[in-house]
Amino acid sequence: MSATLRELASTIRSKNAGVDHITFDIIFRSRENFERVRDAGVITRDTMAALYRVEPSRITHFVVYEPGNAIKFTIRRSRPSGSPGETDVFGSQQYAPLFDIAVP
């Protein structure tokens, strides 16, 4: 049965990683849920680039972090944090679109 990422992960967050990047952490309390998402192929560099409508090259890092039961990826900002025109200085409200990802 399919579930959403929001149901399976214990933490879904975004935050600045330095002044030029926003990094996304998807962390699982259960190893089983982590492996289910890890192996489902729904969270990859390409699917995240498509979701956030950026070129895959702007996803500068994509890491499956086994010790933390976590998947982590990083998007390069279009302009540095806090520049005029920027609306999320901490990069802390960019994760919401991850919630509804369907995981088989």
Chain residues that interact with another protein, rule: CB under 8 A: 11, 15-21, 23, 25, 27, 29, 51-54, 60-61, 63, 65, 67-70, 72, 74-76, 78-90, 93-94, 96-97
Q: Least distance from C-beta 2 to another protein, angstroms?
A: 19
Closest to another protein by CB, 2 vs 67, is 67
Q: Least distance from C-beta 61 to another protein, angstroms?
A: 5
CA-closest candidate to residue 92, choices 9, 29, 12, 31: 12
Q: Which residue has the tokens 């990859």?
A: 44
CA-closest candidate to residue 64, choices 27, 12, 22, 103: 27
Q: Least distance from C-beta 6 to another protein, angstroms?
A: 15
